Structure 1
Amino acid sequence: MSSNDLTTLKTERTLTLLYPGFPILIEDDYYGRLPDTYNRPCAKHSLLSLSMALVVSIPEEHVTPESFSSLYMLVKSSIAIVEAANIHSLEVVQSRLLLCLFEVGHAIEPAAFMSLGTTARAAAAIGLNQKLDNAGSPSDEACSMREVGLRVWWGIVMVDRWYTLERGNGPCATQDLGAPQELPRDGSIGDHKVVVPFFLVGNKLTIKMLSQTQSLPLSTPSSVRVGPFARQAQVSHVLDILLMHLRDQNLTQRFDADSADQIAKTLTSFSMLLPEETPKPWPRYCGAIGMCYSALMTLHESRPKNGLSIEFNRSDAPESLKSALARIRRVSTKFNGFIEHVDCEAISPFPPQSITKAAVIHYRLWSETSDVSHIESADSLLIMTRHFSKRWMNAAKHVARLEEVRRTYVPPGYSSPGP
């Protein structure tokens, strides 16, 4: 098989894997341009193809980031050449975003930190951060491209906010470039009006979906069914509110309990809604669920501490630590039980942080209480993180951390009685 054939297969795989939960590429548009690439090479389209091949590259077991060096270095150098040639376009920004996702997912630092900043500015340079203009017919090509631009800008904002939350310090690269106020239309939902079943935490309702030719505001209530990418955008907005809350707390050295409680309730609502919106939450809602629980665990860490076991037993409310950990455990049990049916290549890089934080809390609770349910939960979460590590090297770092924590709190040779 030639290198061209291999790249083509990888780009096809990218569209299959990436599109459902992160639809920043348009399949018809990409394939429409592909035949001309071989006759009339186009730098920006070739760069996009290389970036698509890179983002679906999966590390072999027991390898380091150097195993990606050939294709990774080619993409990095190609971006530099395109920039030096003063080529700035949507395709170039899409390529940069795919590179960011690759670097963040595989913990390639400080490259990921620097790439996010340059990608955000490259997007702003061509106006992707500007408010979406709804003038014109939805079938108009220019309107369609503006929608693609909105998706790409949302993709940058999502990765940036999640990455900043995981790093734990510094402002977002997109912070001063404008936050999108419209939800992106989701490619998995048709452009015509349909009647769909809507699942809302145990109550099955039937509602009329709004036409997806209409732009929906960021504040669209959860009673309106939107696609996984739009829902992830809403969760990302709550992450932004949390980041502002944490910055204010660091500046004032005061804990705003009312603000924290409101954020926790909002995140809890999403964490309960997302698994009910689709019978197959993995991988479509994988990123949004991961963002929710990363934010919830980070919010818990920011609260004044009176002892972990005291905090755990303080409340059974849905937004409490106990309830959040119970929901994460249910997610891990379902995920681990159906892992043979999950396309691990399609899973998001976002969840491992939340899984790790929850597992650490369970190991600590087990050491304080000797309640075996905690070590069962922690070990289940460790298994889940190992599954993610088959796709993302950042998850492999979380596995190493969890194994070290387990050795700290759990006696050698001890195994949990649970599955």
Structure 2
Amino acid sequence: MELNLSCAMLLTETAYRFGRRCEYEVSKASSLGPTPSQSPVLEPFLPSERIASSHLKNAVIHKLEPFTPEGAVSAYHRAIEPWFPIAYKLQDRLGPTWDETSLDVGLLCLSILLLTTNPSSTANSDGNTSELEFFYLQTKSSLAWAEGLGLNSSPIVQSRILITLFEVSHGFYPAAYVSIGATLGAVDALEVYPSGDALQLHYTNGAVSHEETILTWCGILVLDRYIAVESGPRSSLTHPRTEWLHNLLKPALCPTHEPNQDKNSPVARFARLVEASAMLDKIHTTINSSMSEQMFNIEEVMLTVKTSITLQTILTEEILAEDHLYSGGLGLCHIALLLAFENGTKVSFSANATEECNSLATTSLICILSTITSTVELFTMGTRSVDFNCFPPFVTFLVYKTAMITTERLAMELDTNDGLARLRTLRKFLRIVAKRWLGCVCKERYLKLLDENTTPRMLKAIEQMQGSF
């Protein structure tokens, strides 16, 4: 009974931090899964007797059913692998039934089902904790029980990565920032790195393959760098290891760009994401460093911008124009350039070089604002619909950042005519994407942040435009 009570108190406290009222009945079970029940009730996972991994596995199976191992694989291949191929050889690790599947792989499948669950159209409309939040709380609780039982493995680390990705996608902050730190600690505890002596024992035992290690670290790096940009001026947690990790990953990632390589392999798809995230991390760290180093920072940012533009050009050529929206690497490149150009327009020094930098940054900023708006505009006109199975949630922050910069420029009476049309398009796209990723509208993110910086006059002008929403 004490464990039941503790679990219930934990879930209640977590729901309270989200600003929701947590209502549950201990004696009933929730049937929440990828197709949530209409009236969810929350049951603490574990019995009151002595806890063992078998109890946790039974609880995880209870949450996975009635979905089968094949269903979990199908969900992963359909809606995660196209843009974040993190689950290494998932199908090979699954048994015919959940009972024949190991606990750590079961936890990974639970995280997959969580991330692929669509939010209800009425989520949070009545102020209660939503069904999706219940599912999230229970999934994260199961991972916490596994940690308490001393369980750690590559599938558990991948499960942590997917839960962190869920938090990023749906606007669970600062939870995402805390989770990526725990994930980094978990992979360090395994002593699994892309290469080197630390891995020799793992390779000998066949426990962790080189490819799986590469994918795991790629996922951590991309998420960590993205979360750092979302969370403020702090550097990413992995930033002090950048050069070391780059040298370890380079032999695996660089060959994927050669003409004769399979561009659809998981490592190849992650390679561009990691490259773009590296540019984003470098620009983010540089522009947030000490003001006493500002002149050096300008030179550093300009050098990184040139590299980012080169990578952006390569990605643009590699990807069909109609698929630009679905490229996470291109999205991260655009975020990096937005940060750099926005910073360049605000640097004020008397040096001629800096004045030229301001002018160039302004011109480049307007160009990229227009490019991003044009990319999403077709999806707001009903000409095309968003394929959310292929749509990386990283792009939502790009659209939000574009809208925020446009809002600020409108407030300063810059780009008045084009800016209003651009802002309307961007806001409308965020509402469309909110049907899949809640970070666009809830948790005080994105549209709510935009509203705080948009004057009533500007909102009225947007609403009066033809086809307003």
Q: Indicate whether the TM-score tops 0.5.
A: yes
Aligned to 1:358: 402
Amino acid at match of 1:52: I
Aligned to 1:239: 280
Output one character per residue of 1:216-240: Cα deviation in whole Å (capped at 9) or x when no partner. xxxxxxxxxx944211111011122
TM superposition score normalised by structure 1: 0.78
1:195-234 equivalences under 5 Å are: 209-211=259-261, 227-234=268-275
Over 3 Å counting, the alpha-carbon distance change for 1:336 and 1:271 in structure 2 is farther
- Alignment of 1:154 with 2:218, yes or no, is yes
Aligned-residue Cα RMSD (Å) equals 3.7
**For residues 461 and 284 of structure 2, what CA distance do their matches in structure 1 show?**
40
TM superposition score normalised by structure 2: 0.70
Match of 1:19 among 78, 81, 85: 81
What's the % identity of the aligned pairs?
25
**For residues 112 and 141 of structure 1, what CA distance do their matches in structure 2 show?**
33
Amino acid at match of 1:118: A
Moved more, 5-14 or 115-124: 5-14
Match of 2:120 among 60, 71, 75: 60
Aligned to 2:340: 299
Over 3 Å counting, the alpha-carbon distance change for 1:36 and 1:251 in structure 2 is farther
Aligned to 1:384: 429
Structure 1: 5+ residue runs without aligned partners? Answer: 192-206, 216-225
Output one character per residue of 1:337-383: Cα deviation in whole Å (capped at 9) or x when no partner. 57744312432121222222222333344451464222111211112
Aligned to 1:273: 314
**For residues 311 and 386 of structure 1, what CA distance do their matches in structure 2 show?**
38
> SS at the partner of 1:5?
coil
1:15-414 equivalences under 5 Å are: 15-26=77-88, 29-64=89-124, 66-131=130-195, 145-177=209-241, 178-181=244-247, 182=249, 209-211=259-261, 227-250=268-291, 252=293, 256-279=297-320, 280-281=322-323, 284-285=326-327, 287-303=328-344, 305=346, 314-315=359-360, 320-336=364-380, 340-367=384-411, 368-369=413-414, 371-396=416-441, 397-408=445-456, 410=458, 412=460, 414=462
CA apart distance, 1:25: 1.4
CA apart distance, 1:162: 0.7
Count of matched residue pairs? 380
Moved more, 95-104 or 393-402: 393-402
* Partners of 1:160 and 1:172 within 8 A in 2: yes
**For residues 184 and 393 of structure 1, what CA distance do their matches in structure 2 show?**
38
Over 3 Å counting, the alpha-carbon distance change for 1:144 and 1:40 in structure 2 is closer
Output one character per residue of 1:360-418: Cα deviation in whole Å (capped at 9) or x when no partner. 33334445146422211121111222222222121222122334444445162553358
**For residues 142 and 207 of structure 2, what CA distance do their matches in structure 1 show?**
29
Over 3 Å counting, the alpha-carbon distance change for 1:386 and 1:282 in structure 2 is farther
CA apart distance, 1:161: 0.4
**For residues 336 and 295 of structure 2, what CA distance do their matches in structure 1 show?**
19
CA apart distance, 1:259: 1.6
Output one character per residue of 1:270-313: Cα deviation in whole Å (capped at 9) or x when no partner. 3343233122525641x222212222222233336379xx9999
> SS at the partner of 2:195?
coil
CA apart distance, 1:4: 1.8
Structure 2: 5+ residue runs without aligned partners? Answer: 1-34, 36-61, 349-354
